[in-house]
Amino acid sequence: METTRRSARWVVLGALAVGLAFAGCKKKASTEESGPASTAPQGSPTVPAAAGTVPDGAAAGVEPAPPAKTVCLTGTAVFKGPDGSLIGTGGTLLRYAFEPAQKRIRATSVSFDSPLGEPPQQLEIALKVDGNRLEFQGEQFSGTGELRGDAWVWTSWSMQADLPQGMRMNTEETLTDAGMDATDEVLGPAGNVAIRIVRSLTAGDCDTWENHRAGAAAGTVHLADLGLQAAAPEGGADDGTGKWREEEITFESRGRRVAGTIAYPLGDGPFPAVLFHAGSGPSYRDWNNSLIPGTNGSAKLLAHVLAENGFASLRFDKLGTGKTEIPAAVASGEELVGPQHYLDDVKAGIQRLATDAKVDPARIFMAGNSEGGLYTLETAMDPESGLAGIVLLASQGAAQGPTMLRQIRAQFEQIMSREEADARVAKLQNLIDAIVAGRELPPAREVSDDPAILNVFMPLVVPAAKEFAPWVLTWDPTTAFAGIKLPVLILQGEKDVQIGLDTDANPLYQAAKAAGLEDVTLVVLPNSDHVFKLEETPKDQLGSMAAVRYNAAGRRLDPEAVEALLTWLRAHAGTQGPRPADGGQGGGSP
């Protein structure tokens, strides 16, 4: 969900707010001595010359200016969460052209391979020199620095940048003979650190640097081309290090292949089993998401810890994600995508487990995260589902239309008045009403002036979604319990920035009780986020930026969430087993 002028991503179910526009440096600006930043167009073939001709000072009584100097650096930028957890590694190219005659320093910065999904970006700014002091003032940026004596060796630089949604970025850089060290801190509206970026660069040949710059702009240069390495592999060991077994499998649904992974306990079984369903958007089998950096998906971690405790599981790529095939009729436009496509995939997944010799077909459970809870409830309404019980993992308690608007409104109110937020939400409600009624859709300009918001709704307005969109926008999950006779577990984290206790989990629980369901359990977890990772940041410091850390390497499942899930599953599957010794990470992961 990139925007043209600012890279704001919104937390709307699976479309998660990253809000990082530290390169929102796409603002046009002057390159004059006293002017603000200028940006080379994306993919432009050349960079404006930085080191101009220096006057020789031949005129009588004129002190010759120090010679021009250009420093070119390459290195990595390590992205970390506020708790120090690793998000990933990107590449950084920096070039500083010291121009004494013009009393300025031209700084060119190029970033690529960003773990946040940002495209390669280039920023050029002009730093004004006043004695030994550096100054820069632009529309979004301001900063100061210092020089060392008359040698025009730049020693340090600090910069502050305003970002969308009330966020800011602070940068501190120190240039040495060997290279440069720098730290960027992206701050949320409350002043809390959302992301910390640590850069370590070494000086090198400027001709080589220019080749790398051109390659980054074209998307053809990567960290390895600089002789650098990306972040360490994320997540646990796939082979289970002797604690479980996994198999990549496919099963058939509606005449095409659905791809997934089965995790088994050691032994021959038959074992009780869990079918996992991912949330909305481009979330696939492990609950990784192309809009969120990292591959440390919670479904994989949950599958591993379940396998260690005697439960098999199947997690699969839902329609439109991963390796699962798209039906030919859908791809050709002859067939519309409807909820039944997703429900048929669930039914086929249950059947795949039920026919597995290592699985006990009488003890198959289903667990859906977020929007995945909708398909879990719909499946459980079928008395022939083959399920022994269901688990709603941070599942939405209202139709997706109201849920989306609630989440967007919360973010609007962080950056604008309530009146303006009301007006903007009203336009989005008008779009939803048109989608549901099958009316002609309003022009984009009447919906929102923010491309990120438009992108959130784009999957719902494409022709293939004409059947699916009205269902997902209006179907109320609380109505499902009238037709459900299975045991239900509802797990909800108090540090979930997308789904809430009062707005979702409690309405689901109350609806189940009102429908006469006796075996329904609600467990509230004080330190779980939306994907049941342990979140130790105080709740009042969490914002939409917390979503960017869902799958960061090294983040662990919340031990209380793991214990609650295992306790309920054991009670309903008739098994016994020890509590995981490693706090629910599974597979000996850190």
Q: Evaluate whether residue 36 is within a structural domain.
A: no
The verdict on 380 and 258 lying in the same domain is: yes
Final residue before a domain boundary, out of 226, 252, 275: 226
The verdict on 343 and 469 lying in the same domain is: no
Q: What is the pLDDT along the chain (590 residues), one digit of tens a residue?
A: 222 222 333 333 222 222 222 223 333 233 333 333 332 222 222 222 222 222 333 333 444 555 678 888 898 888 877 666 667 788 899 888 888 788 888 888 898 887 766 667 788 888 888 877 888 777 666 777 777 665 566 677 777 877 765 677 888 888 766 788 888 888 776 677 778 888 888 888 899 899 898 888 887 888 878 777 665 433 334 445 578 899 999 999 988 899 999 999 999 899 999 999 999 877 889 998 777 777 889 999 999 999 999 999 999 999 888 888 887 787 777 888 889 999 999 999 999 999 999 999 999 999 999 999 999 999 999 999 999 999 999 999 999 899 888 888 887 877 788 888 888 899 899 999 999 998 988 887 788 877 667 767 877 887 778 888 999 999 999 999 999 999 999 999 999 988 999 999 999 999 999 999 999 999 999 999 999 999 988 888 887 667 778 888 788 999 999 999 999 999 999 876 544 434 343 333 22
The verdict on 244 and 376 lying in the same domain is: yes
- Residues spanned by the domain of 117: 69-226
Give the CATH number for residue 391: 3.40.50.1820
**Residues 354, 275: Cα–Cα separation, whole Å:** 11
What sign for the dihedral angle of Cα 273, 555, 488, 339? Answer: negative
Give the CATH number for residue 163: 2.40.128.20
Say if residues 307 and 244 touch (Cβ distance below 8 Å).
yes
Closest CA to 526 of 486, 559, 554: 559
The verdict on 561 and 541 lying in the same domain is: yes
Confidence (pLDDT) at 156: 74
The verdict on 383 and 403 lying in the same domain is: no
Residue with tokens 């260690």: 308
Confidence (pLDDT) at 441: 86
The verdict on 250 and 391 lying in the same domain is: yes
The verdict on 542 and 444 lying in the same domain is: no
Q: Evaluate whether residue 585 is within a structural domain.
A: no
The verdict on 203 and 315 lying in the same domain is: no
Closest CA to 533 of 312, 396, 369: 369
Q: Evaluate whether residue 341 is within a structural domain.
A: yes
Q: Evaluate whether residue 57 is within a structural domain.
A: no
The verdict on 460 and 487 lying in the same domain is: no
Q: Evaluate whether residue 13 is within a structural domain.
A: no
**Residues 275, 388: Cα–Cα separation, whole Å:** 11
Q: Evaluate whether residue 422 is within a structural domain.
A: yes
Q: Evaluate whether residue 579 is within a structural domain.
A: no
What's phi and psi for 272, nearest 5 deg? -65, 160
Query: Residue 187 forms beta bridges with which residues?
Result: 168, 193
Q: Which two tokens stand for residue 251?
A: 């099963």
Q: Evaluate whether residue 46 is within a structural domain.
A: no
Helix axis angle, 418-437 relative to 451-461, nearest 10°? 20
The verdict on 361 and 387 lying in the same domain is: yes
Where are the extended beta strands (E) located within 242-336? Answer: 245-253, 256-264, 271-277, 312-316
| Domain count within the chain | 3
Final residue before a domain boundary, out of 226, 259, 289: 226
185, burial (CB in 10 Å: exposed 0-12, middle 13-18, buried 19+): middle
pTM recorded for the entire structure: 0.65
**Residues 427, 416: Cα–Cα separation, whole Å:** 16
**Residues 584, 590: Cα–Cα separation, whole Å:** 11
Say if residues 320 and 14 touch (Cβ distance below 8 Å).
no
Q: Which two tokens stand for residue 223?
A: 């960290």
End-to-end CA distance of the chain: 32
Confidence (pLDDT) at 383: 95
The verdict on 320 and 427 lying in the same domain is: no
The verdict on 306 and 327 lying in the same domain is: yes
Final residue before a domain boundary, out of 164, 191, 226: 226
